[in-house]
Structure 1
Amino acid sequence: MHSFTEENYLKAIYKLQETNGEVVATSALAQVMGVHAPSVTDMLKRMAGKKLVTYQKSKGFKLTEKGKQVAVGIIRNHRLWEVFLVDKLGYKWDEVHDLAEQLEHIHSEDLTNKLDKFLGFPKADPHGDPIPDANGVLPKSKAVLLSSLKVGEQGTFTGVTDHTPAFLNYLDKAGISLGNTLKVKAIEEFDQTYTIQLNDKKGAVISHKVANSLLVNK
C-alpha cells in the first residue's frame, strides 16, 4: 500500500514523462507539486527505496515499471470517477477534479472494474482525457493543439490541456464544448488572436493562450 502523497507524486511524474520525456527533473516536479526541491528529493529517495522510481545522476528520475503501473491505476480511478460524477450525479466538468482526487485513492480493483462496467466502459473522461483499460493500457491520442492549425483548417474538439475550473468555466461561457468542430477562420498577426467557427455556425474570438489549451482531432 502506498500513501496518498506517494500516489500523487507517481501520477504527477507519469504526466510529466508524457509531456517532457522519459527523464524528469526534480525542479519540474517541485513546480507541479507546489513544494520545494529538497522535499521532492526526500520523497524520491523513499520512493526509490520502494522500487517506484529510478534516479540518473545529473539527469533526473523516471518511473520503474512498478511505479508506472501504480500511476496508471490511479489515473484510471480518477478519470472513471469523473465520468461517474458528471454522467450519474450531474456535476459539471469544472466541478469534479477535486472530488475525483479524493476518490481515486480508494483501493479496490473490483470496485474500479464494476464502476467501469456500470458506466459502459467509457473511453474518455469529461475533459476528453483517455481512460486506461483494466489492463492498464492507455489509448494513444492523435489530438493536436488548436494553435497548430493554419487558417482554413479545422478539427473536432476532443480535450483540454488546462483543467482548471476557471478555464473550463470560460469555455462554457464561450459555448465551446467537446465534440464541436472548430475551424480557424483568421489569426491576428499583432497578438495571435484566433477567430474560430463552431460547427460551421457560431463564431468566437479566442486568445492564443486558449487556442494553445484546446486539443482537436484533424
Structure 2
Amino acid sequence: MPSPAIDDYLKVVYAHTEWQDAPITPSVLAAKLGIAPSSVTEMVKKLGAQGLVAHEPYRAVRLTPLGERRALEMVRRHRLIETWLVEEFGYAWDEVHEEAEVLEHTISDRLLEKIDERLGRPRFDPHGDPIPDASGRVERERFVRLAEATVGHAGRVLRVSDQDPALLRDIERAGISVGLDVRVARGGVEAGGAVIALPAGAAEVIWLTA
C-alpha cells in the first residue's frame, strides 16, 4: 500500500493541474511540499518504479491512470473530512486544511463512507472544490480564474483556494463566498448592486463559472 508520503505527492501532483493546464515540474513540486529538490527527485523515481507517475529527467511529472486513481481517493478523503469538520464541528473554512491533512491518513474506509452518508453525499467541499465520488468520478463546471476574467463577466463564485488561511479570512470579511453571483468590475467585483473591493491577491485564488 502507498505510504502517507506517497499519497501526499500524488495529491499535490493532481491538485496542481485541477484548475489550470500547466503540468507540475519537480522544482514546483518541491516548493509546494516544502522539501529539497533532491528529495523530490528520489521520490519521483520511486513513484515511477511503482507505476504511479510518468517522468523524464528535467521534464514535468504526470500521473499515470493508476496514480490518478490513488490521488482521487486521497482527494476524496481530504475534502470529505474538510466538509465534515465545517458541517459537524463548526470549523471555519480557513481552519480545516491542516486538520484534514492529518486525518485523511488515519480514518478507515468504513468511517469515511459513514461520513459521506451522514453529510448527504456532498458534491463540493467548503471551498468549492469537487469531491470525487467513491468511483473516482468528479463533477466540475467550466471555469475562469477571476484574475483572467474580463470586466463585465458575470458568474458564480465557484471555488476559492484554501492554500492561504489568512487570505481566506480576508476574502470572507470582504463578503465573498462560494455560490455568490458576481460581475467583474474594475478594482473588484459587483454583487447585489455594490462593488466589493478585493484583498490583495484575492483575484488569483478565486474561480468563477465561465
TM-score (norm 2): 0.90
The amino acid across from 1:42 in the alignment is: E
Question: Which SS does the other structure have where 1:151 is aligned?
Answer: coil
Which whole-Å CA distance do the structure 2 matches of 1:148 and 1:96 have between them?
28
Could you tell me which of 188, 192, 195 is aligned with 1:195?
Answer: 188
What is the SS of the residue equivalent to 2:89?
Answer: coil
**Equivalent position amino acid for 2:5 in 1:** T
Percent identity of paired positions between Structure 1 and Structure 2: 36
Q: Bigger radius of gyration, 1 or 2? A: 1
CA distance in 2, matches of 1:138, 1:177: 22
Give the deviation of 1:117 after TM superposition.
1.3
Superposed displacement of residue 104, structure 1 = 1.0
- Tell me which residue corresponds to 1:215: 207
Separation of aligned partners in 2, 1:56 and 1:184: 41
**Residue 65 (str. 1) matches residue 58 (str. 2):** no
* Conservation of the 8 A alpha-carbon contact between 1:147 and 1:208: no
**Per-residue deviation, residues 80-135 of structure 1 (Å, max 9, x unmatched):** 00110001111100110000111111353332222111110101000000000010
Tell me the CA shift for residue 207 of structure 1: 5.6
Cα offset for 1:55?
2.2
Aligned length: 209
Q: What's the counterpart of residue 190 of structure 1?
A: none
Distance apart, 1:24 and its partner CA: 3.4
Give the 3 Å change call, closer, same or farther, for CA 136–102 of structure 1 in structure 2. Answer: same
State which drifts further: 8-17 or 71-80: 8-17
Given that 2:171 and 2:202 are in contact with CA atoms closer than 8 Å, whether structure 1 keeps it comes out as no
State the distance in 2 between where 1:70 and 1:107 align.
16
Q: For residues 184 and 14 of structure 2, what CA distance do their matches in structure 1 show?
A: 32
Q: Distance in 2 between matches of 1:172 and 1:17?
A: 25
**Structure 1: any 5+ residue segments left out of the alignment?**
188-193
Contact 2:174 2:197 in 1 (8 A): no
Do 2:24 and 2:62's aligned partners in 1 also have CA atoms closer than 8 Å? yes
Give yes or no for contact 1:81–1:104 (8 Å, CA) kept in 2.
yes
Q: TM-score, normalised by structure 1?
A: 0.87
Structure 2's unaligned 5+ residue stretches are none
Root mean square deviation of aligned Cα: 1.9
1:148-167 equivalence runs, <5 A? 148-167=148-167
Query: Which position in structure 1 is the counterpart of 2:36?
Result: 36
Residue pair 1:127, 1:159 contacting (<8 A) in 2 also: yes
1:96 to 1:28, Cα distance in 2 relative to 1, 3 A: same
Residue in 1 aligned with 2:99? 99
Q: Return the alpha-carbon distance in structure 2 between the equivalents of residues 157 and 120 of structure 1.
A: 22
Q: What does the per-residue CA deviation read over 1:50-102, in whole Å, with 9 as the maximum and x for residues that have no partner?
A: 22223224423322222111111000000000110001111100110000111
